[in-house]
C-alpha cells in the first residue's frame, strides 16, 4: 500500500532476516489495528549484498536509503566473508551507509526492563527503573581525524599517531540533538569530555555551555569521562541524557549497555542533520551483531530490533504513543515469563524467535483492546 511513511528494510546477514521478519508482523499489526501504513522497501546489505553484487552496499541501495524517511537494519557479517577484501567486507557497507547519510548522532538508550533487572551485572536496586540515553558523536573525532598512522621517526623507531579533531559545527550539532532529547525526557544533560587534559575537551565544554543558553529549562552538567565511567557503575540512575565524543561514546555506551543485562535487548538510532522541513535522515538497528552461531535456527531474540522499530516511530515519525505501545508490549511479554535463549532464566518459558514475535503482537492486541 502506498504511504507517506517511507522505510527501507536492510535485513543483512545471520539472524538479521529472522529478527526483521518479526518487525514485519508488528508493522502488519500497525496497519490493521492502528490504521497506520508504511511504504516498506527491502534490499540487501553486508555479506548478502556482496554475494549478489560483489560489494557490501550497492549504489542503488544507498540511493534508496538517502530517499526514505528511515532505514531499519538487522545485522551484517559472518565467517563466510572473513577473507573478503577489507573494503568489500560486510561491515564496510554499514560504515558507508552511516558516512554517506552523515548520521552524526548515535542514540543508545540503556533502559532496564523490570522483568530483566536481575540480569544486570549490578545490584538490582542500583539499576531497577534505569532509563538513560547516551548520545555519541559518530562521524568525526579520533576515529576519523588526520593525520593518523605509523611512521619511522628521526631516531629510526616506529611511532604512531591518531588525531582527535572536531570543528565547532560538529560539536554543536550533536550537542543540540542531545539538548532536544533531554527536553523530551527528564530535562537533564550531562556533557562528557576530558577538558582537564585535552584541548578538544575544552572546546567541547565551551560549546556545550554556549548551546545550553538556548535551552534554559535543561539542567546542564559537565563531567570528565573517567568520572562518568565510574558514576555509570556506581549510581547510573543519576543520568538522563549523556552527550560525548566518538571515542568516549563508544566506550561509555557499551558500559551502559551491560547495565541492562543483555545484548539481545538493545536498540539504537543514528540521526543526521534536519533538512528545511525538519526531516532528519535516520537509521535504526539493534546493537547486537549477526550471531552466526545461532543463525537460521529460529533462536534469536527479536526484541532489540522490535525496540529499534519503536525508536523509528518515536524519532522519525513523531509517533510517541505507538512507540509506547510497542515498548509496553515488550515489557509485558517479558513480565509473562517468556524468554529467548540469550535471556533465559530459571523458571521462565523458553521460546523461539517466531514465538517471541507472535507474543509481542498478541500483547499489542490486548493493549489496544
Residues that bind ligand NAD (CB under 6 A): 15, 75-78, 91, 94, 263-264, 285, 288-294, 300-301, 304, 340, 342
Closer by beta carbon to ligand NAD, 159 or else 293: 293
Gap between the Cα atoms of 344 and 340, Å rounded: 6
CB of 79 to ligand NAD, least distance (A): 7
Catalytic annotation present for 226: yes
Please identify which of the residues 43, 69, 245, 250 carries the catalytic annotation.
250
Sheet with 280-286, strands from edge to edge, namely 39-42, 6-12, 70-75, 280-286, 267-274, 105-111, 131-137, 241-244, 188-193, 219-224
Catalytic annotation present for 362: no
Gap between the Cα atoms of 76 and 288, Å rounded: 10
Please identify which of the residues 51, 63, 82, 226 carries the catalytic annotation.
226
Which 3 state secondary structure label does DSSP give 2?
A: coil
CB of 137 to ligand NAD, least distance (A): 18
Please identify which of the residues 39, 162, 254, 298 carries the catalytic annotation.
254
Gap between the Cα atoms of 108 and 287, Å rounded: 9
Closer by beta carbon to ligand NAD, 76 or else 189: 76
Closer by beta carbon to ligand NAD, 10 or else 112: 10
- Provide the sign of the torsion angle of the four alpha carbons 250, 319, 22, 185, taken in this order: positive
CB of 234 to ligand NAD, least distance (A): 27
Closer by beta carbon to ligand NAD, 78 or else 267: 78
Please identify which of the residues 31, 143, 162, 298 carries the catalytic annotation.
143
Which spans in 75-198 are helix H?
Answer: 90-100, 124-127, 168-184
Gap between the Cα atoms of 135 and 252, Å rounded: 10
Catalytic annotation present for 143: yes
Catalytic annotation present for 254: yes
Please identify which of the residues 96, 194, 281, 299 carries the catalytic annotation.
194
Closer by beta carbon to ligand NAD, 190 or else 308: 308
Catalytic annotation present for 240: no
CB of 13 to ligand NAD, least distance (A): 8
The cell numbers describing 199, all together, are 584541548
The pairing of strands 6-12 and 158-163 is: unpaired
Closer by beta carbon to ligand NAD, 84 or else 202: 84
Single out the residue of 11, 32, 117 nearest to residue 361, CA to CA. Answer: 32
CB of 89 to ligand NAD, least distance (A): 8
CB of 285 to ligand NAD, least distance (A): 6
Which spans in the chain are helix H?
Answer: 16-33, 47-53, 59-67, 90-100, 124-127, 168-184, 199-212, 225-234, 246-259, 303-316, 320-335, 353-368
Is the omega angle on the peptide bond into residue 147 within 30 degrees of 0, that is, cis?
A: yes
User: What are the residue numbers of the active site?
Assistant: 143, 194, 226, 250, 254
Amino acid at each position: 500500500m502506498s504511504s507517506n511513511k517511507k522505510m527501507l528494510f536492510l535485513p543483512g546477514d545471520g539472524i538479521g532476516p529472522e529478527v526483521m521478519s518479526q518487525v514485519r508482523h508488528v508493522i502488519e499489526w500497525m496497519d490493521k489495528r492502528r490504521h497506520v501504513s508504511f511504504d516498506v522497501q527491502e534490499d540487501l546489505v553486508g555479506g548478502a549484498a556482496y554475494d549478489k553484487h560483489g560489494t557490501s552496499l550497492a549504489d542503488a541501495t544507498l540511493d534508496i536509503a538517502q530517499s526514505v524517511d528511515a532505514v531499519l537494519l538487522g545485522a551484517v557479517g559472518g565467517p563466510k566473508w572473513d577473507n573478503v577484501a577489507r573494503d568489500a567486507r560486510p561491515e564496510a557497507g554499514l560504515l558507508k551507509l552511516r558516512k554517506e547519510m552523515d548520521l552524526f548522532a548515535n542514540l543508545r538508550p540503556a533502559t532496564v526492563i523490570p522483568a530483566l533487572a536481575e540480569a544486570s551485572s549490578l545490584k538490582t536496586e542500583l539499576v531497577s527503573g534505569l532509563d538513560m540515553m547516551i548520545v555519541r558523536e559518530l562521524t568525526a573525532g579520533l576515529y576519523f581525524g588526520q593525520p593518523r598512522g605509523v611512521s619511522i621517526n628521526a631516531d629510526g623507531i616506529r611511532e604512531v599517531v591518531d588525531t582527535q579533531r572536531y570543528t565547532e559545527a560538529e560539536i554543536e550539532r550533536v550537542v543540540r540533538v542531545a539538548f532536544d532529547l533531554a527536553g523530551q525526557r527528564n530535562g537533564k544533560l550531562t556533557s562528557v569530555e576530558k577538558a582537564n587534559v585535552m584541548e578538544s575537551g575544552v572546546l567541547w565544554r565551551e560549546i556545550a555551555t554556549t548551546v545550553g543558553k538556548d535551552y534554559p529549562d535543561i539542567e546542564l552538567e559537565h563531567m570528565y569521562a573517567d568520572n562518568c565511567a565510574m558514576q555509570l557503575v556506581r549510581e547510573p540512575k543519576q543520568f538522563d541524557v549523556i552527550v560525548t565524543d566518538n571515542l568516549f561514546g563508544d566506550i561509555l555506551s557499551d558500559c551502559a549497555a551491560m547495565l541492562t543485562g543483555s545484548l539481545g535487548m538493545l536498540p539504537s538510532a543514528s540521526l543526521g542533520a534536519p533538512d528545511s522541513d525538519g526531516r532528519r535522515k535516520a537509521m535504526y538497528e539493534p546493537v547486537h551483531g549477526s550471531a552466526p552461531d545461532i543463525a537460521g535456527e529460529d533462536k534469536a531474540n527479536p526484541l532489540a530490533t522490535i525496540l529499534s522499530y519503536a525508536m523509528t516511530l518515536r524519532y522519525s515519525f513523531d509517533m510517541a504513543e505507538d512507540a509506547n505501545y510497542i515498548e509496553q508490549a515488550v515489557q509485558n511479554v517479558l513480565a509473562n515469563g517468556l524468554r529467548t535463549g540469550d535471556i533465559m532464566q530459571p523458571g521462565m518459558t523458553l521460546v523461539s524467535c517466531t514465538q517471541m514475535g507472535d507474543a509481542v503482537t498478541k500483547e499489542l492486541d490486548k493493549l489496544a483492546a
